[in-house]
Amino acid sequence: MQIDDPAVIAEVRAVFDRYEDALMNNRAEILDSLFWADPRTVRFGIGEILYGHEAIRAFRASVKAYARRAQRKVHIVAFGPDFAATHLEYERLGADGIPTGLIGRETKIMARMPEGWRVVSAHVSLLARDPGLQSR
């Protein structure tokens, strides 16, 4: 198995970037299309536990706007041509665009499906403020 094939990493990064843009612009239809349309898809958010694509879609439809965030670190690893994980460390921004000191983490497990790369599992968490936290 080839790990971190540059072409696969580039494909996954493109999906990651599309997801981030859709999230920051609250484009639910794009976000929905990037998740595997299957009852086995899982998304654990900061305040929600969602099993199945329909539950995830219903949650997305209820969101008026997502909290702004600044990417601190993106880490992607690919296992062969069809499986990858993306990890994002971010800092929440206030309405004024100033960092709040809240650090978030997001992991997406992606698989190449016949229709393209899809998120099959996602987990988002938010840490309490920690001014001494350092990225690794």
Question: Could you read off the pLDDT of 41-73 as tens digits, one per residue?
Answer: 999 999 999 999 999 999 999 988 888 999 999
Cβ contacts of residue 1 below 8 Å, gap of 6+?
79, 80
Provide the domain count of the chain.
1
Domain assignment present for residue 17? The answer is: yes
Which phi and psi angles does 28 have, rounded to 5°?
Answer: -55, -35
* Full residue range of the structural domain in which residue 91 is found: 6-126
3-state secondary structure of 41: coil
SS3 breakdown of the chain: % helix, strand, coil, rounded to 5?
25, 40, 30
Q: What is the CATH number of the domain that holds 42?
A: 3.10.450.50
Domain assignment present for residue 1? The answer is: no
Q: What is the pTM of this model?
A: 0.89
